[in-house]
Amino acid sequence: MDDDTLPDDSMTPRRRKIRPEPSQLHPEDRIGDAATTEGELDEEDESERRVRRNKSRRQLERTHFQMVNERVVEDITVDFLYKPHTLTILGLLVVFISYKAFTGFTEAQNATDRNVYDGLLGTLALFLVVSAMAFPNGPFIRPHPVFWRIVFGVSVVYLMLLQFTLFQTYTDVKTVLTWLDPKGLGQEDLVEKEYAINCSDVSLERIWSHMDIFAVGHFTGWAMKALLIRHGVLCWYISIAWELTEIVFTQLLPNFAECWWDAIILDVLICNGLGIFAGLQVCKWLSMRNYHWESIKNITSHRARFKRMVMQFTPENMDDFDWGSFTQTIKRTMAVYVFVLIWLLTELNTFFMKHVFSVDTKHPVVFWRLILIAFISAPSIRQFYLYATDPLIKRLGMQCWVYLAVCALEAAICVKFGIHMFPRVAVTPIVVWILFLIVGTFFCVWISVWWAKKSSATTEITIDGENCDIYLDSSHENLGAIHDDVRRRRRDLGFSESDLN
C-alpha cells in the first residue's frame, strides 16, 4: 500500500478499552486486579504524602527565612507605637520639606553650596522615612523594628554612596570631601603616631604611657565584638589573627608597626582580653535573665512601668552562638573561615580608607562610620550565623547581603585610589597570612568542639543510625536563637513533626 492510500488517523474511530466489572472476572483475575488497584492506591498515597511533605518543607523554609529577615512583633505592649501612621507621617514630611525648601537661601552668598547641602539632607531624610515604612525588620525587634529598618536604610544609602565613589577620580573625591569639611577632610598628608620606637625599653612607666584613648577603644571595641560574636574561642582567635594581620600589612601601613610587648601584652592580653571577658559576661548575664514582656497597660505600679520601659531597650533574647559544630563540619568550618576573613577585611578597610583619603583618626567621620558598621553588623552576624547553621535557611538575609556588599566596595575603593600610594607588595607574607587563617580556623573549630565536650555542653544522640554529638541548647536543626519563635509559628501553621521527615 502506498503512502497516499494510508488511512487518516483523524478520521478513523478510536476503540475505547472497556474494563470488565469485577463480577465478570475469573477469581484469580479478581485477586490480581485487587492487588493492582491496592498498589496504585499506595503509590498515589505515597505521591500525595511526598507532595504534601515538600510543600510543608518549602513553607517551613519561608517561615524560617521570615524569622531571620523580617521578624514580626507578636506581643505588642503599646498599640500606638506599632500602628503605621502613614498619613500622619506623610503630612508632617510634606510640611517640613516644603518649609525648608521655601525658606532656604536663594540670593545670599554661597547660597548654592547651602542649598545643595540642604537638598542632600532632605533626600536622606525622605529615604530614611520610606525605609522605616517599607524595609524589612530584620532579625531584631528591640527596642523597636523601626530602628532596625532605619539602620537598614542608612546601610543602603552608604552602599549607594560607595558605589558612586568607586566610579569617580581621586581628585573629585577629595574635592567633595574638602567641600564638606575643608579643615578636617581637605588635608593632603596624614601624620600618624609611631608606636615601634625604642622597643627595648620595657618598664611599667613605659607600658602605662601607652594606655591612651586607643587602649580604651580596644577595650570597648572588643566588649562590643564579644556581644556580637558571643563565642569566647572565636573572639580570641580573631584578636590574635588581627595582630598577625597588622604585621603582614605593615609594609603598606607603617602605622601598624608596634613593639612586641605593645601587641602581646597591651593589645591581646589586657585590652582585648578584658574586653572579651566583659562582653561575654554581659552575654551570660542577659541569657540567664528571665524576661517578662508583659504589657505596660497591665502593670499597675509606676516603678514596674519604668522597669518595663527600660527593658524595651534590652535584647528580647540573648542566646549563645555555637560556631563549632559536630555535624556538617566542612560547611561550618568554611562559614567560620569566611566570617573571620570578612571581619578582618572590615577592620583593614577602616585603616586603609583613612590613610588613602588622609583623614585623621580623631575626625567624627571615622567615629560615625565605626558606629554605623557596628549597627549594621549586629543583624548581619545573626543572619549569617543562622544561614550557616540552620539547614532550612537557604539564602542570606538582606542586611547581611548589604553588609557584604559594603565590605567589598570599601575594599575596591581602597585598591583603586591607593594602589599608586603603596610600594610593591610582597606576596609571600600575604600567602602565609591566608594559610594561617585556614589552619587557624580549623584549629579554632577543634578547640571549640573540645571545650564544648569538656564543659558538658553537649550530649550524644543517634541520628540515622549514627552517634552524633549535639549542643544541649540546640536541636538537630540548630535553630539557635529562633527556636521558640519557629516552634510557635509551626503550631500556628499546623505543622507536625511527620511533615518534616
pLDDT tens, residue by residue, 362-399: 889 999 999 999 999 989 998 888 888 777 788 888 99
Rounded to an integer, the average pLDDT of 211-226 is: 84
User: Which of 245, 244, 223 shows the shortest CA–CA distance to 235?
Assistant: 223
Question: What mean pLDDT, rounded, does the chain reach?
Answer: 75
- The pLDDT value recorded for residue 293 is 32
Report, as an integer, the average pLDDT of 310-321. 51
CB distance 90 to 112 below 8 Å? no
Q: Which pTM value belongs to this model?
A: 0.73
pLDDT band at 101 (very low <50, low <70, confident <90, very high): confident
**In 3D, which of 253, 244, 213 has the Cα closest to residue 354?**
253
Q: What is the DSSP string of 353-407?
A: HHHHTT--TTSHHHHHHHHHHHHHHHHHHHHHHHHHH-TT--S--HHHHHHHHHH
User: What is the pLDDT averaged over residues 144-152?
Assistant: 89
> What string of DSSP letters covers 415-441?
HHHHTTTS-PPPHHHHHHHHHHHHHHH
Sort residue 258 into left (φ over 0), alpha (ψ -120 to 50) or beta.
Answer: beta
Supply the pLDDT for residue 169: 93
Sign of CA dihedral 389, 394, 397, 403: positive
pLDDT at 274: 93
Element (H, E) at 15: none
Confidence grade of residue 352 (pLDDT, cut at 50, 70, 90): very high
For residue 328, name the pLDDT band (cuts at 50, 70, 90). low
Higher local confidence (pLDDT), 452 or 357: 357
Q: Which residues contact 280 (CB under 8 A, 6 or more apart)?
A: 226, 230, 232, 235
* pLDDT per position as a tens digit, 160-197: 999 999 999 999 999 999 988 888 888 888 777 777 77
Task: Return the ∠ at Cα 279 (arms to 278 and 284), rounded to 5°.
Answer: 95
Sequence-distant (6+) residues with CB within 8 A of 375 are 151, 154
The yes-or-no verdict on residue 87 having pLDDT over 80 is yes
pLDDT for 206: 74
Most confident of 29-33, 101-105, 271-275: 271-275
The dihedral sign for the CA sequence 211, 213, 218, 222 = positive
Average the pLDDT over 489-493 and give the result.
Answer: 57
| 6 pLDDT above the threshold of 60 | no
Q: What 8-state DSSP symbol labels residue 267?
A: I
Instruction: Report CA 463 to chain centroid distance, whole Å.
Output: 30
Distance of CA 144 to the CA centre of its chain: 18
Percent of the chain predicted with pLDDT > 70: 67
The segment with the largest mean pLDDT, out of 77-81, 249-253, 335-339, 407-411, is 407-411
Query: Concatenated DSSP letters for 88-154?
Result: HHHHHHHHHHHHHHHTS-SSSTTHHHHHHHHHHHHHHHHHHHHHHHHS--BS--SS-HHHHHHHHHH
pLDDT at 237: 93
pLDDT at 287 over 70: no
Lowest mean pLDDT, pick from 104-113, 138-147, 256-265, 355-364: 104-113
Partners of residue 468 on adjacent β-strands: 461
**462: three-class secondary structure by DSSP:** strand
Residue 9 has pLDDT above 50, yes or no: no
Residue 489: which pLDDT band, with cuts at 50, 70 and 90? low
User: For residues 139 and 319, what is the distance between their CA atoms, to the nearest angstrom?
Assistant: 13
Q: Sign of torsion, CA 380 386 389 392?
A: negative
Q: For 421-479, how does the pLDDT look when each residue is reduced to its tens digit (9 = 90+)?
A: 777 777 888 888 989 888 888 888 888 877 777 766 666 666 556 666 666 554 333 44
Query: What would the mean pLDDT of 127-142 be, rounded to a whole number?
Result: 86
> What is residue 468's predicted lDDT score, i.e. its pLDDT?
63
Q: 154 is written with which cell numbers?
A: 542608612
Residue 233 has pLDDT above 60, yes or no: yes
What does the pLDDT read at residue 294? Answer: 37
Instruction: Report the range of poorest mean pLDDT among 351-355, 454-458, 482-486.
Output: 482-486
